[in-house]
């Protein structure tokens, strides 16, 4: 069920990383994405507040792995996923708004909703409900699990521009003064278009009374961006949206329900990526649900396996990213890290393998890794 009709837009940076790509390949959908308008991304460019630049290819020289990513507008990408889901589903309802859960005490027994434009309510009974309904999740709200903690919440803008100069096939992440902690991104798209945005912790926004839309425009007006944006055209305005971060572990399951993706608050606190973790949560929830159905057991104890497997898969990585996010709030340190990445093959390689989702989990959790990188 989705309240929209596909294809539909979703405010996003549109960067599809190694992790998303792994799930997409497992679902045998990458070839479908390649038939659609998108851009192959081959590296990432970081710029520090002091202007230092590190260019990191996703496939480092002499690497055994071949890594890449895509930048694909969500109106296109989500439609590839949704169409495949629709083909596989017994029944698929678009323009159907879920208004409430059907509950028996604390046990979820289905959903209640209405078709867009119609008033008549419809009820659906189910053994389990999977809430993959975004940051403002009605499932999380109805189960008392919705929580807007502004220290673990980013607000971001997005605009589509054409005609920015010096574009390459690298995604660009700029740590500019106007939005630290946070960043300004320029992600290349097909046919000379680019996805441009700015994101910042909500607690900082509130404290410093920053108007993000104005900060977005201001970022394009300082050098070196002023020159690059001098003849750029903005199409469709600047939109804003929320990002619930995985720096805080939330309750994501209970009697007869699981929360997935943004509804569970799984966004990477450093990179702002949420598509990969949303897809991984879907993959794990499907496996757990299949087992629960086979055992006729949709209790909280049975569905706890979902939380265990998910945190086992992405927990270390989220912790590392939270550490990086906090380090990134110290400007001299950010200058130092980007400077290191610009000079040290080992640091650059580590960042690129982390972005490609190829760093072993044990390495992510080990303090020795960071000591080694510090002296690399």
User: Site residues (CB under 6 A) for ligand FAD?
Assistant: 1-4, 10-15, 97-98, 132-134, 138, 156, 158, 197, 241, 243, 261-263, 267, 272-276, 278
Q: How far is the CB of 63 from ligand FAD (least distance, A)?
A: 23
DSSP states of 192-261: GEEEEEEEEEHHHHHHTT--HHHHHHHHTTSTTHHHHHTT-EEEEEEEEEEEEBTTS----EETTEEE-G
Alpha-carbon span 23 to 34, nearest angstrom: 15
Of the two residues 45 and 376, which places its CB atom closer to ligand FAD in the complex? 45
Half-sphere exposure of 253 (CA within 13 A, CB side): 22
Residue closest to ligand FAD when measured from CB atoms: 274
Residue of 121, 149, 123 whose CA lies nearest to 135? 149
Q: How far is the CB of 209 from ligand FAD (least distance, A)?
A: 20
Q: How far is the CB of 297 from ligand FAD (least distance, A)?
A: 26
Alpha-carbon span 147 to 280, nearest angstrom: 22
Of the two residues 135 and 340, which places its CB atom closer to ligand FAD in the complex? 135
Of the two residues 4 and 369, which places its CB atom closer to ligand FAD in the complex? 4
Q: How far is the CB of 267 from ligand FAD (least distance, A)?
A: 5
What are 338's two structure tokens?
Answer: 């980007």
Q: How far is the CB of 237 from ligand FAD (least distance, A)?
A: 13
What are 88's two structure tokens?
Answer: 């596989």
> Rounded to 5 degrees, what are φ and ψ at 143?
-95, 10
Q: How far is the CB of 165 from ligand FAD (least distance, A)?
A: 22
- Contact in structure between 201 and 151 (CB atoms under 8 Å): yes
Alpha-carbon span 242 to 203, nearest angstrom: 13
Q: How far is the CB of 311 from ligand FAD (least distance, A)?
A: 17
Of the two residues 148 and 343, which places its CB atom closer to ligand FAD in the complex? 148
Residue of 128, 136, 357 whose CA lies nearest to 256? 128
Of the two residues 98 and 292, which places its CB atom closer to ligand FAD in the complex? 98
How many separate helices (H) and strands (E) can be counted in the chain?
Answer: 13, 16
Of the two residues 188 and 274, which places its CB atom closer to ligand FAD in the complex? 274
Of the two residues 24 and 275, which places its CB atom closer to ligand FAD in the complex? 275
């Amino acid at each position: 069920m989705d309240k929209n009709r596909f294809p539909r837009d979703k405010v996003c940076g549109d960067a599809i990383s190694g992790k998303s790509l792994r799930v997409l390949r497992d679902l045998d959908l990458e070839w479908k994405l390649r038939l659609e308008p998108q851009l192959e991304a081959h590296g990432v460019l970081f710029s520090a507040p002091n202007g230092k630049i590190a260019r990191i290819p996703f496939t480092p020289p002499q690497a055994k792995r071949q890594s890449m990513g895509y930048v694909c507008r969500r109106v296109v990408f989500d439609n590839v996923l949704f169409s495949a889901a629709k083909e596989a589903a017994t029944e698929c309802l678009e323009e159907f708004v879920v208004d409430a859960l059907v509950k028996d005490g604390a046990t979820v027994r289905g959903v209640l909703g209405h078709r867009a434009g119609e008033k008549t309510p419809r009820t659906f009974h189910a053994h389990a409900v999977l809430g993959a309904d975004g940051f403002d999740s009605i499932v999380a709200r109805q189960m008392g699990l919705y929580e807007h903690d502004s220290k673990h919440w980013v607000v971001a803008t997005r605009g589509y521009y054409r005609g920015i100069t010096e574009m390459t096939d690298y995604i660009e992440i700029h740590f500019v003064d106007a939005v630290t902690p946070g960043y300004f991104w320029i992600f290349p798209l097909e046919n000379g278009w680019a996805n441009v945005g700015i994101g910042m912790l909500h607690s900082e926004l509130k404290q410093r009374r920053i108007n993000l839309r104005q900060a977005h425009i201001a970022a394009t007006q300082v050098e070196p961006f002023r020159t690059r944006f001098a003849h750029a055209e903005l199409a469709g305005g600047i939109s804003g949206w929320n990002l619930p971060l995985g720096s805080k572990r939330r309750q994501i399951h209970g009697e007869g329900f699981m929360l997935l993706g943004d509804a569970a608050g799984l966004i990477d606190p450093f990179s702002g990526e949420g598509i990969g973790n949303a897809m991984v949560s879907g993959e794990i929830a499907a496996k757990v649900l299949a087992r629960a159905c086979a055992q006729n057991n949709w209790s909280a104890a049975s569905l706890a396996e979902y939380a265990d497997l998910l945190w086992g898969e992405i927990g270390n990585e989220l912790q590392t990213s939270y550490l990086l996010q906090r380090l990134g709030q110290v400007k001299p340190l950010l200058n130092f890290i980007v400077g290191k990445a610009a000079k040290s093959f080992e640091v650059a390689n580590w960042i690129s393998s982390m972005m490609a989702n190829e760093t072993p989990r044990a390495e992510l959790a080990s303090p020795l890794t960071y000591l080694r990188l510090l002296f690399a």
